Chains A and B, each alone.
Chain A
Amino acid sequence: MSFLTPLFLLGGLAIAAPILYHLIRRSTRERTIFSSLMFLQPSPPRISKRHRLEHILLLLLRCAALALLALGFARPFLKDFSLADPGATQPRRIALLLDVSASMRREGLWPAARTRAEAIVRRAAPTDQLALFTYDRSATPLLTLDEWNRTAPGDRVALALSRLATTAPGWGGSQLGNALITTAESLAENETNREPGQPSTADGPREIFVVSDLQAGSRVETLQAYEWPKDVAIHLESVTASRPTNAGLQLVAESADANRALDAAVRVRVTNAPDSQRERFQVGWSKSADAADWIGTPLEAYVPPGQSRVFAIPVPKDTAGLRHLALAGDDEGFDNVVHLIPPQPRQAEVLWLGADAGGDPQQPLFFLRRAFTDTPRLAIKVTARDASAPLSASDLESAGLVFVADPVPPAMAEALREHAREGGIVVALPRGSAAANSLGRLLGREGVTVQPVQPDSYAMLAEIDFRHPLFAPFADPRYNDFTKIHIWNYRRLGPEPLPGARVIARFDGGDPAMLELPVGNGRIFVLLTGWQPADSQLAVSSKFVPLVWSLLELGGGIAPQLTQFFVGDPVPLPPEHGFTAVRMPAGTTTPLAASASEFAQTVQPGIYELAGSQPQLFAVNLDVTEGRTGPLDRDELAGLGVPLARPAAEAAPAPAAATLRQGAEAENRQKLWRWFIAATLAVLLIETALAGRAARATLRMKEATP
């Protein structure tokens, strides 16, 4: 038997007290009154041998109680360390999670991480099962448990080391939370392909070793709601960069304001690490995609450690070749360059088929031209053509939106239908009964009639379908009041209802005001009133401009340009993109299938080029959080419920400390002290009973002898 706190055994010396008490004959209960004590001195206690013999049993009980109490407090345990340390015999399941995110490119980190990972692999016992994972945005298996089990035991470590040798840090951001969840779940899977005779690891402890720089930018929020399996312990093996000064550069997200000038300053955020030793940097346009090679004079940026500041970098007059913004002045260069494709000015075309004079304020075209004014990023060309003049295929192809204001010949009606079928938007504006035939052909319906209606006073728009994309921008109660638009003239369309058409707005009299007829990939709208003053107040209302822009948007004329991505982001491709390959930043070319809907190999930051008939550029940058290289707070992980094991320094204690720990565990399991305390109480009860009986006997004896 051993003791966890053997010093308490010294308490056993208290046994001397009852022995002395029994030896001392001192009838303290007897009192003698004496006239004066002025001539007396207190006598020393006298020892009597006779007394010890009288109460020998009581003495033994009292000594036993004290001894048991001392033994209980010394926390005894039986040495049985084979039971005490289940990890010593039970095979473990180990997952090694190696960080290959961009921040591991910092100087000195990767060799240290490799060394640490190899040491963990070598420490694995032959009965253990080991899996290797790398992680940046997600965990990627490098060596699965199956592969480990399939390999001969003697070759396993060598295999794992060879797999480790093939890895290198990439450019992805650190999603530590996701990676931990993936790894934990892979460990929790049922063991398969276990060799006969090999001990099962199903009930053994599971350990995840994370070898990483554990930067502050590691995203761990996903762990918030994750319920960890039992018996999983996570060891954090952090490696530290030799040079702490690092500042990161990020583009500040631009607002989707189409009116913003293209030559406005570009805003960047410079983030300085908390342990940086410098706070002055230079930011500016760079010719090189790898390091600062300034175009013009860079901006001096002052950012104190642990803070971030936003700077506006002015765009020079000559914007050609402006694709990289760089930062200089820190130690680590992996996050010092951002790549940028400046948005290009685009052009949209609106085709007006009608005989209106553009300068007449009584005609609808007058208002349409003014509604479609150019913006810095979008130039809109409104082309008015006579409805009877023949149209070429290219005219229609370039048109994002077609207005049909006058009756068109049958061939043109068919061409417009074909245009709509291919995804175009055609808006028919029948102005009188004469337009009925032309409209019928355009809509592909027989017997279409158009009848002018002049309400007694005026009509209003009612029953508007705000779920329709055209009216969706007005759905908010602040904007959905159309009653101020008075309508003096409108047309009634027959037959009612028109087959296949969807009424998206009606007049207050119940007649349809606007219909939508889907045709192929596109659609044809019929607006049964005009916006010019002769017909209604629509053109002078606040609803007119958003309405016609919505029509243009539906036609795809002003689709947003996607030119900025992060490493690992898939780049969506239009359905019939016509791109054949992707030119990577490194200069290599990756072929692209015609049916591919996205391009996913954005593995490094830089400018990518989609090669094809109309080449398109896009920029890929580092994850914005990857530049936050300050250390991650372990308490934050613990607060998220991550079952962290003790740090390595504590986990490998000195032999004496290890023995003590094993002893503490054994004692905690056996809890022998409880039995000793119970025995003490039992002995004290017996002692109390015996002492009481003896006292009563003495009392009776005294009473009997006067």
Chain B
Amino acid sequence: MEIPVPPVASSSSLASAALIDPQALMTIRSLELRARAVVEGFWNGLHRSPYHGFSVEFTEYRQYTTGDDPRYLDWRVFARSDRYFIKKYEDETNLRCHLLVDHSRSMDYGTTGYTKGQYASTLAATFAYFLHLQGDAAGLLTFDETVREYLPARHRPGHLRQLMLALETPTAGRATDLNAPIERISALIRKRGVVALISDFLAPLDRLERNLTALTAGGHEVIIFQVLDPAELTFGLGQPSLFEDAESARTLYIDPGLARTSYLEKFEHHCAALRAISRKLGISHHQLPTTQPLELALFEFLQQRIKRGRQVRRARGATGAGA
């Protein structure tokens, strides 16, 4: 089965396109509308119509042969042509993408007027909408310290709506456990697909590598989106005060002026560790400040898909040549 890859523009052409400011985007209340705005804006900015070639799954008819399931007979074709044709379902060839979205309290943090959680939800909704438009199946798993919601990857009417609703569920958990959702999704997904992990990754990375290894070993394509607030990246918080941990409610007296260097050092070390894991497992890792337009994230997603498609084709070609 070939993974369909949409034709996309180059990054330079994307940069020249008018991107939507996330600040403005987040003023739209509806998550679906936000996703639609991003996706359609993304398409509009492309030089070629995204509708061409984006029909990722070619619907095929084949002659009925004995032994085929009569359920799959296309009766309309039979009515027209009086021949038995079997319709090959789109389902069989469609992309299955699972979105793993962090809903812990740390995602509630935001200094830009919206939170990391809102940004992450919008990102996930964008992906889902985009995949839905392509006819691909999108699934969702939200988590904090445990798995909260799980929607299997489907492409059917109403599913997108359900997915949007799940994404809009407010955050509840107190901690972040990156291992639980990965273990769960490894156990749930039988068919290979894409797993997009959207989180701030502000949690210990001890068992992350092992779990991700299990996921990639299962043939899944994993993409990591690390959503971070600009304050977390720069720690430019003015006055000394009692800092309260959003998840554990632990308080510390922090003078940002004094603590900044140490914080940045440790934060960079944490991110480097995450990148090292990703590199080692061939996982693409994208750090997304919440001020970054979502189209760029979508672009990177697709870029990743193209890269992956080529790799697969090359791999197949090499295998065929060898055979």
By a beta-carbon cutoff of 8 Å, the part of chain A in contact with chain B is 25-28, 30-46
Contacts and interface: CB of A to CB of B under 8 A. Distances in A.
Interface stretch (B30-38, B50-58, B135-143, B236-244): B236-244
SS of B interface (majority): mixed
Contacts of A42: 252-254
Interface string B254-267: 11001100110011
B67 to A, nearest CB: 58
B103 interface: no
Given A41-B262, A43-B253, A43-B258, A35 B116 contact: yes
B313 to A, nearest CB: 41
Contact of A35 (B106, B239, B255): B106
Contacts of A25: 240
A36 B246 contact: yes
A46 B253 CA distance: 11
Query: Max chain A CB contacts within 10 Å: which of B108, B200, B229, B252?
Result: B252
Contacts, number: 87
A31 B240 contact: no
B242 A28 contact: yes
Interface size class of B (residues with CB under 8 A): 35 or more
Given A34-B243, A35-B202, 12 more contacts: A25-B240, A28-B242, A28-B253, A31-B241, A32-B242, A32-B244, A32-B254, A33-B244, A35-B106, A39-B270, A40-B259, A43-B259
B209 interface: no
A577 B215 CA distance: 143
Interface string B105-128: 011110000001000000000000
21 contacts: A26-B240, A27-B239, A28-B253, A30-B239, A31-B251, A32-B243, A33-B244, A34-B237, A34-B244, A35-B202, A35-B246, A36-B200, A36-B202, A37-B243, A37-B248, A37-B252, A39-B263, A40-B252, A40-B259, A41-B259, A42-B254
Contacts of B243: 31-34, 37, 40
B244 A38 contact: no
A43 B261 CA distance: 12
B223 to A, nearest CB: 22
Contacts of B106: 35-36
A465 B108 CA distance: 121
B247 interface: yes
Closest 8 CB pairs of A and B: A35-B109, A43-B255, A39-B266, A30-B241, A36-B202, A35-B106, A37-B245, A42-B252
A31 B253 contact: no
B231 to A, nearest CB: 8
B80 interface: no
Nearest to A28: B242
Nearest to A37: B245
A35 B229 contact: yes
Contacts of B183: none
A28 B108 CA distance: 23
Nearest to A45: B253
B71 interface: no
A28 B251 CA distance: 11
Nearest to B247: A36
B232 A35 contact: yes
A435 B144 CA distance: 145
B207 interface: no
A20 B257 CA distance: 22
A41 B267 CA distance: 13
Contacts of B240: 25-27, 43, 46
Contacts of B248: 37
B250 interface: yes
Nearest to A36: B202
A41 B259 CA distance: 7
Query: Max chain B CB contacts within 10 Å: which of A30, A35, A45?
Result: A35
A30 B256 CA distance: 14
B26 to A, nearest CB: 18
A106 B109 CA distance: 102
Interface string B88-106: 0000000000000000001
A37 B250 CA distance: 8
Nearest to B232: A35
A37 to B, nearest CB: 4
A46 to B, nearest CB: 6
B257 to A, nearest CB: 9
A39 B258 CA distance: 13
A26 to B, nearest CB: 7
B49 to A, nearest CB: 41
A27 B238 CA distance: 13
Interface string B203-228: 11000000000000000000000000
A39 B267 contact: yes
A271 B259 CA distance: 93
A30 B204 CA distance: 28
A26 B244 contact: no
A40 to B, nearest CB: 6
Contacts of A30: 239, 241-242
